[in-house]
Structure 1
């Protein structure tokens, strides 16, 4: 891909070699991570782009693609769920939220259950002083 295009591969906050903002100062949700990537792309002047979606970052890319479809030249998806059959038992709380997105179906703080679970997991990861990718169990 690098032979025909410019490849930009930023680490998401709290992942890889990036900084690990405290959970009180950063929105560790897929939408929050997409906000950061979008701001980064805007800052470096990227207006139209292909999005490579992989594993845990796939929902971040889906947020980018659905926010501004006119900017997306294409999606390259590897190991990123986009269908219900691809979601196993760890997604049961997210499914419950999708079935009932009302305030009563949301987790603490008014966030969706899936975002809340991700936030709790990221908090535990940061509290243990670990960096790098979170792995599904």
Structure 2
């Protein structure tokens, strides 16, 4: 990760669930099977939820339908590389993080059918083995 990336990204909030074991890219793999391909945004082992529900290639109708059926806003990434950056940036501990990019990273589909473009915040949750449980853009932290 370049120093330029670190200049426009900051961890706004975090909740570390277990700080006794480091996990994620660059750490010893503690999960089952082979280690995920951390540098591949198509790695379903590392990023499955993001790809299926919040990826840049999804059609707007998919996200709007999900927002309506779940009655919950749905964020969509503009660029798959941004979640790779986040995985490297956030602490290497099982937990939940709110990240602020100082540039647009996504859009949010709201339950009322409206869309907020150019959002700069994202939520990301790391599983105990370091893989990503969820990661999606949000309008602003709660």
Question: Higher helix proportion, which one?
Answer: 1
TM-score calculated relative to the size of structure 2: 0.23
TM-score calculated relative to the size of structure 1: 0.24
Larger radius of gyration: 1
Q: Which has the higher contact order (CA 8 A, sep 6+)?
A: 2
Question: Higher strand proportion, which one?
Answer: 2
